[in-house]
Each structure stands twice: as C-alpha cells, then as structure tokens.
Amino acid sequence: MHPAIRVQHLTKQYRLGTRARGGLNLTERLARVFRRAPTPAADFRALDDVSFDVHRGEAVGVIGRNGAGKSTLLKVLSRIVEPSGGRVELRGRVGSLLEVGTGFHPELTGRENVYLSGSVLGMSRREITRGFDAIVNFAGGEQFLDTPVKRYSSGMYVRLAFAIAAHLEPEILIVDEVLAVGDAAFQKRCLDRMAELAQSGRTILFVSHNMQLIPLLCKRAVQLERGRVVRTGDAGTVTAAYLNDLLADAKSGDLRDKPRTGDGRARFVRAWLADDAGRPLAHFVSGADFTVRVEIESSVAAPNVSAAVVIATQYGSRVVTSWTSEVGYRASLKPGIQAFECKFRDATFRPGHTLLVHLWLSDGEVLDSVENAVVVEVVGEPEHDHLSRDANQGVVVFDYDWREVPAG
Ligand SMILES: Nc1ncnc2c1ncn2[C@@H]1O[C@H](COP(=O)(O)OP(=O)(O)O)[C@@H](O)[C@H]1O
Ligand SMILES: [Mg+2]
C-alpha cells in the first residue's frame, strides 16, 4: 500500500537575513532605492535532505529543539511553503493546524474562513455546511463567527483553526504545537478528538514539546535536528533519547531550548563559564577571573548591538551586571555564529554560593534574553577554609584586616 505521506530528500533553503520582521532592514531598503541587489547572503537550510514515510492510519510525532525545522516541515507538507528541493507526496485530503498566523485569510471572517478551508480541502458547499455546526460547537460558540480573523486573540484563532482542521473530514491531519495556546479543557478536547481521528484510521503528523503526550498519541516519532532527521522509530524510544539530548545540552551549555523572550533575529545558542583558554569549567574557584563565553547565532547583520551578562544569586537578587555600553564596547553581528567573552576580574564570590547567569542582547529592540543561562557553583581553595560557607554571610568576600588603633 502507498504511504499516506512520503517525504523524499526534502530541502528548504532560506537566505540568511531575509526573515521579514517589520519589513526590510536598512541595507535592503537602501539597496532597493539604489536598485542594487543586497549583498549576497549565505544560504541556510531549515530542512536538509529530510526523508520519511507515514503510513495510512498511522500517528507520527515530530520532535526536536527550537529551530530544528519542525514548523517548516509542516508548512511544506501543507503547501504553505515551497520546498527548495526534494519531493513530498500526500495521498488524501490534508487538514492542518499550523503556527498562529498561517492558514487563515486574515481579512475574512471566521465563517468565511470555514468555507474557504473546506473548499481548499476539496469539499462541496453542502459538505461544509453539514460540518458547520460541529465546528462552531467545538470552537466554543457563534459570537465571533462574523468577525474578521485578524481581530481574533491567539486563543480564539487556535480554537477555530483546530475545529476546522479536525471536523472537515481530513484524511491527513497535520498539527503544529499551537495547542499549547488554549486552556487545559480545550487542549483535552483537541487531544481526545485527535485520538478519535487516529482510531478511525486517519493519518496524523503531530509536533509537540510534550514528551509524555507523544508516546500516548503516536506509535512512531521523528526527531529533527538542524533541519535533519536524526532519529526515527518507536515513539517511546525516540522521546527518551531526545530527553537525554536535552540533559546533555544542560551540561554543554546549549541554550537553544531554553525559555526566552526577544524577537529572535539573533539568539544566544551556547553559554558557559570558561577558563583562560575558553574551555568550559565545572565550577568556579573563588577569586579567579569569572569568564562567561557566549555563542550568538544571528540571521541578520546588526552592526551596533549591546549585550549584558548579569550574575545573580540562587535567590534571584542581582549581584553584578556587566553591560557592553557601560564600557564602550560595541558588538557587531553578521549572519552566522559568533562568540563573545565577558570577563569579571578576580571575582571573590563566597564559596558555597550557587550563582545564576542571565544574558541579554539588544539593538534597540530586545533580540534575545535568557534567564538562568548558566548555573555556577562557587568552590574554595584550601586558603579559603577559614571562610564561612553560609550563604547568609554575603555573596562576596573582600580582603580585610582587623587591628587595634589608639583610642581617643
Ligand atoms: N521565513 C523564514 N525566513 C528565514 N528563516 C526562517 C524562516 N522560517 C523559519 N526560518 C528559520 O528556519 C529554522 C527552522 O525554523 P522552524 O521550522 O520554525 O523550527 P521549529 O518549528 O523546529 O522551532 C530556524 O532557524 C528559523 O529561524
Ligand atoms: Mg515551530
């Protein structure tokens, strides 16, 4: 039997620095004014030679760190994004629920979008009308049906999108991790509906960060990493191996999966406490130089960026901040990965403390901000043995003397 989804050598290339966020950047605008092509940027593969099959009636989970290419894969399969190479074959009607902002026509109302999605799925008007009430019920009522979708909150958007994807009788259902947006009760209804569809022989491709859910819902899983398939097989086995990767990340300083804020044009991808040669240190010896190395991956050229490294206690209070602007240092980012180092000299933290390092990056807009990017234990040498290890005795120790002085 033919597989329901066949992906062969799929590649999606993006031009670095072209991610449209707030339109063109200054160089691109100038290039346009002077009718010159922007400086050729490196190509970057969001998907790189991806191949796998999904059999009819199978539910398959797609997992991987942020930026691995999961959403891009789902967009290519839903024909929202054109592949740069390779092929996809889909046998059956595809209903998809992608990242908020894709799939709907923003100017049309909820009602109009239901009909539009149905006709994209190849359904007749009568067939759609038959499913209409179930969709409205599932989405939680009629009150927003005649509002243009661009006015919807992300919660409302996801409700309607899932209701459409799950009720317009798709043979293949493709779901990105958008379900995280809804409330718990709505999420449960969605998962129940997906299980129902899976049992009735529909084919499901499902992205999630929830490693408990994937083996419950899916028999098989595919793990992507930097655009490539790195594991496929039994869902329990693949999710367990992926969780091990995440543990190894914590040790190696990999930040790609950390919660963060910022617009993401440039991101901290690794950070660690370093020795003088830049190698990672297991812990910090009080009084040495406290050196934080970071690797920043940028998709844009940003010639004037400020960065901050903040050291805080485990209880959350800031001990010291280092800010590039304070010392007149300007970081200049190019597309790709660059490394920077911030060194606090002779940092006499009290042995026994656990320190948290926060990172921040901005070019006027916050590009990336990661809390607790590095966790550091402070230890002492034998010469520190006289010092109290009690965290209540202060975060730093200075050299100090006591002596008696003449009275009066
Ligand atoms: N339109 C785009 N232009 C340029 N780069 C993009 C675009 N869409 C996604 N990317 C990049 O492709 C990579 C994969 O993104 P994505 O598929 O969203 O990953 P995931 O869903 O696994 O987090 C990321 O590095 C992302 O920044
Ligand atoms: Mg995604």
pLDDT tens column, 301-320: 999 999 999 999 988 889 99
Backbone angles phi, psi at 369, to 5 degrees: -150, 120
Is the per-residue pLDDT at 322 higher than 90? yes
Q: Which of 120-134, 179-193, 308-322 has the lowest mean pLDDT?
A: 179-193
Name the class of domain 266-380.
Answer: mainly beta
pLDDT tens column, 35-45: 444 444 557 89
- Please name which of 120, 158, 117 lies closest in space to residue 140, comparing C-alpha atoms: 158
pLDDT average, residue stretch 138-159: 86
- Please name which of 254, 236, 234, 232 lies closest in space to residue 245, comparing C-alpha atoms: 254
- Please name which of 207, 110, 113, 194 lies closest in space to residue 153, comparing C-alpha atoms: 110
**Closest residue (by CA) to atom 11 of ligand 1?**
46
What pLDDT, on the 0 to 100 scale, is given for residue 181? 63
Question: What amino acid is encoded at 37 in this protein?
Answer: A
* CA 80 / ligand 2 centre spacing (Å): 14
What pLDDT, on the 0 to 100 scale, is given for residue 16? 59
Q: Which numbered ligand comes closest to the C-alpha of 16?
A: 1
- Of the pLDDT bands very low, low, confident and very high (cuts 50, 70, 90), residue 21 is very low
Rounded (10°) CA dihedral 330, 334, 337, 341 = -10
User: For residues 182 and 377, which has the higher predicted lDDT (pLDDT)?
Assistant: 377
Domain with CATH 3.40.50.300 in the chain: 5-249
Is the per-residue pLDDT at 373 higher than 90? yes
Q: Which numbered ligand comes closest to the C-alpha of 68?
A: 1
**Closest residue (by CA) to atom 10 of ligand 1?**
46
* CA 314 / ligand 1 centre spacing (Å): 34
Is the per-residue pLDDT at 325 higher than 80? yes
pLDDT average, residue stretch 48-65: 95
* Highest averaged pLDDT of the listed ranges 134-138, 165-169, 244-248, 304-308: 304-308
- Of the pLDDT bands very low, low, confident and very high (cuts 50, 70, 90), residue 360 is very high
What pLDDT, on the 0 to 100 scale, is given for residue 112? 92
Is the per-residue pLDDT at 10 higher than 60? yes
* CA 63 / ligand 1 centre spacing (Å): 14
- Of the pLDDT bands very low, low, confident and very high (cuts 50, 70, 90), residue 24 is very low
**Closest residue (by CA) to atom 4 of ligand 1?**
19
Q: Which two tokens stand for residue 294?
A: 């970071």
**Closest residue (by CA) to atom 18 of ligand 1?**
71
End-to-end CA gap in the chain? 101
* CA 11 / ligand 1 centre spacing (Å): 13
pLDDT average, residue stretch 67-92: 92
User: For residues 222 and 17, which has the higher predicted lDDT (pLDDT)?
Assistant: 222
Pocket of ligand 1 (CB under 6 A): 14, 18-19, 46, 64, 66-72, 299
Question: Looking at the domain that runs over 5-249, which CATH code has it been given?
Answer: 3.40.50.300
Domain with CATH 2.70.50.60 in the chain: 266-380
Is the per-residue pLDDT at 13 higher than 60? yes
What pLDDT, on the 0 to 100 scale, is given for residue 20? 44
Q: Which numbered ligand comes closest to the C-alpha of 80?
A: 1
Is the per-residue pLDDT at 25 higher than 60? no
Is the per-residue pLDDT at 27 higher than 80? no
pLDDT tens column, 223-268: 999 899 999 999 999 999 999 988 888 888 999 988 889 988 999 9
* CA 179 / ligand 1 centre spacing (Å): 19
What pLDDT, on the 0 to 100 scale, is given for residue 297? 95
Say what the pTM is. 0.74
pLDDT average, residue stretch 269-295: 95
